[in-house]
Structure 1
């Protein structure tokens, strides 16, 4: 999970980034809101930690711009030194999902971050090394066996390569949220800005659409976002139509998922 830490005090922001990195999160410290908004237009962040007092823009204005941007649903936690009811109300009213009052115990801060990510992404713990071996997405028919790198839909295993598995897991964790190509390449292929890797990612997205049946008649839509990346959407679908779609889409035999190089 990628976390942006935005604040005027870079020493504090860097300290928070070291703490988050120590428990498995990828984090980046940013001091200027302008730089953050430029990055937000091209990159994916799973959570934003933002100081209430910023040097170049008010936190309320920044929250407003976040909620109007491509990652409008990204969870935001505000860090403030003021716990007066009026300011707390202002934070939440402006679009913050949670807040912490400084000084705050690092243990408490990590617990609040983890709790907010669980609420936002409907999975157990998302930091590397603390994640659950199996992740089931609520109200969805897909279960991800992380240890075996296997996807199960309604009791049937779906054969995916290792890269396809991690790409699918990333997209489902960001269900109904846009995911940038840069973030996909960083998480799945561990590269940045490589044109060939981007084309490879596009090919894998197309394969997932077919293998997982991510089509409107199955209740999903995996769409490209011009100049940005992709978004997997959950669509409403009547139960009888869903049953018909499953019957048409289920082959007689499904191969067991095995690891193989991409």
Structure 2
């Protein structure tokens, strides 16, 4: 890895994580160390870090709140790995829902941690190369730089996971996307078989973007498979006479 990489390590008062800063230094990575969550939040507003490593046991505020605060800051696209003591599925899902990109349980393996850091940087670099992509479908437009949507020029704010889901669906108009692929894209792993997290996220996205036939775009549940987003032709909207019409799918465009 390049020695120009700067990683912020929010380690609270955990002496075990001192080894992490030493590991990063040996790898040629500059490491800024923080004990309090609020200090890191303030620093993120002023310094552009390449990645944040956040311990889940902090002296001032919950680590989840730090993640949420960072995701609401101007530098909200910084990659985040949560270093956790709790290996339960609920804690993992909560962390990823809050905006963490990865979740590594302690005790930490040096090789595993460095591999996770390298893999996350590769993925983020690829995503940043695609920044500037604008996806259009019907009256909607998704902007990858600001990670927001517009509906007939009305700007709509989206949570990180809402935007990831929207970008995946709007980039695959008319295609059935398996639930497993959506989960890997949005949560970076497949959810438990009985989890309702994906269904809940789809429901929230419909509400946030006001998706429905009245706006020319629908999301359909394909039983036992996944979800499909369709763009309706203008004459398929329900406000017009419905007799004898068919739903026609238009492909999205990029610019």
TM-score of the pair, normalised by structure 2: 0.48
Q: Highest Rg: 1 or 2?
A: 2
Higher relative contact order (CA 8 A, sep 6+): 1
